[in-house]
Amino acid sequence: MDPLHTIRRRVVILTAGFLALLLVLWLLTPYKKMVAGAGLGLLVSLYNVLYMARKVRLAGETTLATGSTRHRGTGMINRYLMVALAILVAFKYPMHFDVRTIVVGLPICYILIIVLEFWEVRKLRTTSGKG
Amino acid sequence: MDLTIIAGAIMLSFAAIAGAFGNAWVFGRYLEGIARQPEVRGMLFTQTFIGIALVEALPIIAVAFGIMAVLGIIG
């Protein structure tokens, strides 16, 4: 199976699980603003990871098709501006979101990618008898 | 001018510069690797993905804190 598809599917499934957990916390606990802020950060994180995956895939396909290693951008400004947008939304609506907890949700998908890939490598080494 | 705004601006700019250099380095090696050996692009893609995730996690947090400092939420 295509590694991009595998990684993307796992990250989306786990992030959906985290979002469901945050929804339960939002419903059951009195810390609604904080949980909503973390959820907003998590959504931005998911967008950033999916956008990054798309950019990496497109760059690879372009390089394979043309043979040229020159490529226009990795979409970094777009990702940073999404973070800025999330913080501005929380700043605009302080009755719904806590701005500081957005930072908690922002790196979660990046950490998920790293953990999932190390887990995959460990599994491969165990099955091949090297671990 | 409030010093917090300057601190936030410095934090934003340094995070963006560091993230840009890191991303460019990882991405450039990925494209070179694909151009040289197209058959290993799946493995290269995975490693590039992890590399960019490692590079970009901290600058994203720094950008968030920088914007908060500029807006006066922290500091």
Give CA–CA dist A90/B61, Å, rounded.
Answer: 16
Option in A2, A63, A87 nearest B31 (CB) = A63
Q: Which residues of A touch B31 (CB under 8 A)?
A: 59-60, 63, 69, 71
What pLDDT is attached to residue A1?
64
Name the residue range of residue B48's domain: 3-11+19-71
What is the overall mean pLDDT for chain A? 89
B57 Cα to chain A: minimum distance (Å): 6
Q: Nearest 5 degrees, angle CA B26-CA B28-CA B30?
A: 70
Domain count, chain B: 1
ipTM of model: 0.89
Give CA–CA dist B4/B2, Å, rounded.
Answer: 5
Lowest mean pLDDT across A2-11, A22-31, B15-24, B48-57: A2-11
pLDDT digits (tens, 9 = 90+) for A50-107: 999 898 888 888 888 887 777 777 889 999 999 999 999 999 999 999 998 999 999 9
Residues 6+ apart with CB under 8 A from A21: none
CB B3 within 8 A of CB B54: no
- If interface means Cβ-Cβ distance under 8 Å, which residues of chain A face chain B? 2-4, 7, 48-49, 52-53, 56-57, 59-60, 63-64, 67-69, 71, 74, 76, 79-80, 83-84, 87-88, 91, 99-100, 102-103, 106-107, 110-111, 113-114, 117
CB B58 within 8 A of CB A96: no
Residues 6+ apart with CB under 8 A from A79: A48, A51, A52, B56, B60
What pLDDT is attached to residue B46?
84
pLDDT digits (tens, 9 = 90+) for B11-66: 999 999 999 999 999 998 998 898 888 888 888 888 888 899 889 989 999 999 99
Which CATH number fits the domain that encloses residue B44?
A: 1.20.20.10
pLDDT at B75 over 90: no
